[in-house]
Amino acid sequence: MGNLLSILMIFALVAIPSLPGAQGGEMTVSQSVEPKAAVQAANYWTRERVLNARPHPMGIPGRAVTGTREDAGIEEPGAVPGSPGGKSVLLSEDPADTLSLTGAFESGSAILNDIHVLGYSYPPPHTTFYVPTTLYGTTASTYPYRVIGKVFFTKSDGKNYVCSGSSIGGRAVLTAGHCVSDGKGAFHTNWVFIPAYRDNTRPYGTWSAFWKTTFTVWHKYSDYGRDVGFAAVSDISGTKLSQRVGTLGFAWNQSTIKHWNMFGYPAASPYDGARMVQTQASLSRVDESKSPGRPGIGTTQTPGCSGGPWILNFITSNYANGVNSSFFTTAPQEMFSPYFDTAVNNVRIAAIAK
């Protein structure tokens, strides 16, 4: 019996390819986690480990191949609204809470200053600021801020890292692909999500993953065009994550000529990962080095914000329409997201069904 249990536990941790996605026969790969390992993950994240987790790197070499995405040819756009599951939004006007960290009009890299896309030169305009502490960090956190949180995990090198994520429906958490997999064929371990995290508080608990998934081209080949990941987390006291904190909506096959409210927990200087940061920005340009092209926006957010959501129709419908994925090392004040198309939505549907 003991040998059989060991075999079953090993099998549960094996990454299993799924069926092709709806677009171009794209494949995803997933990993199930044995229940005991999921419980151990929640216990693993002591105060010391949480505070010492390092921000996952986001900078990649090279530069964007720029262009604008044509609306013609986009598949039928779709969207489902978010669900607050509780308290409505109350905005703070405390100037100390809205300290601006805008870096939009500082001089940027000489390499990119001559690039003009959609009327913007580098760095693109944006407003970046700390989210008011009156809105999150307690069990009375307001929607949609309470659905956003920090992701913690251990990589195959044995080191602990931090990303960002958001509740997207059912038991599912949306994040970046590199926050669930190393892009070299290995899924991360000790994976947890802490919604509405602030200054080492866990107002809604620590939610451990029992399942993770991403696109095969990310998992095996580090393709940033598909740097999207999802996890399904275990219930706490019989309650699903979405029932506890609510969910963001989701929008796909949209024009990239949009304005987003983007969120994350940047943890590299000048940030320390203790508080949620918000960026408001419109499309700066599209990186056409990937297909589909990746939209970019201006921000001063730094590593640690990986996987944080890009939200359309903020406050009203709260559609997740991107995640913080990467910036080019020559242009660190411009963040790119994989384009959310039908294939990404199909993975979301699979995740919320868990």
> Can you name the CATH fold of 17-352?
Thrombin, subunit H (2.40.10)
> Facing residues of 28 across strands?
215
What pLDDT was estimated at residue 97? 30
Total count of residues recorded for the chain: 354
- Asked if pLDDT for residue 118 goes beyond 60, the answer is no
The distance of Cα 12 from the centroid of its chain, to the nearest Å, equals 25
Closest listed residue to residue 350, CA positions, set 11, 5, 10, 20 = 20
Which has more confidence, 209 or 289? 209
Among the residue ranges 1-5, 218-222, 266-270, the one predicted with the least confidence is: 1-5
* Percentage, residues of the chain above pLDDT 70: 81
Question: How many helices and strands, by DSSP H and E, does the chain display?
Answer: 6, 22
Residue 16 has pLDDT above 70, yes or no: no
User: Distance between terminal CA atoms of the chain?
Assistant: 28
Look at 13 and 120; give whichever has higher pLDDT. Answer: 120
Closest CA to 307 of 209, 237, 236: 209
- Residue 281 φ then ψ, to 5°: -160, 155
Lowest-confidence pick of 104-118, 203-217, 296-310, 321-335: 104-118
pTM (predicted TM-score): 0.86
Q: What is the mean pLDDT of residues 164-173?
A: 98
Distance CA 109, CA 162 (A): 28
Q: pLDDT value at position 68?
A: 58
User: Taking 80 as the threshold, does the pLDDT of residue 199 lie above it?
Assistant: yes
CB-CB contact of 213 with 347 (8 Å): yes
User: What are the sequence ranges of the domains in the chain?
Assistant: 17-352
* Burial of 274: CB neighbours in 10 Å, binned 0-12, 13-18, 19+: middle
Respond yes or no on whether the N-terminal peptide bond of residue 123 is cis (omega within 30° of 0): yes
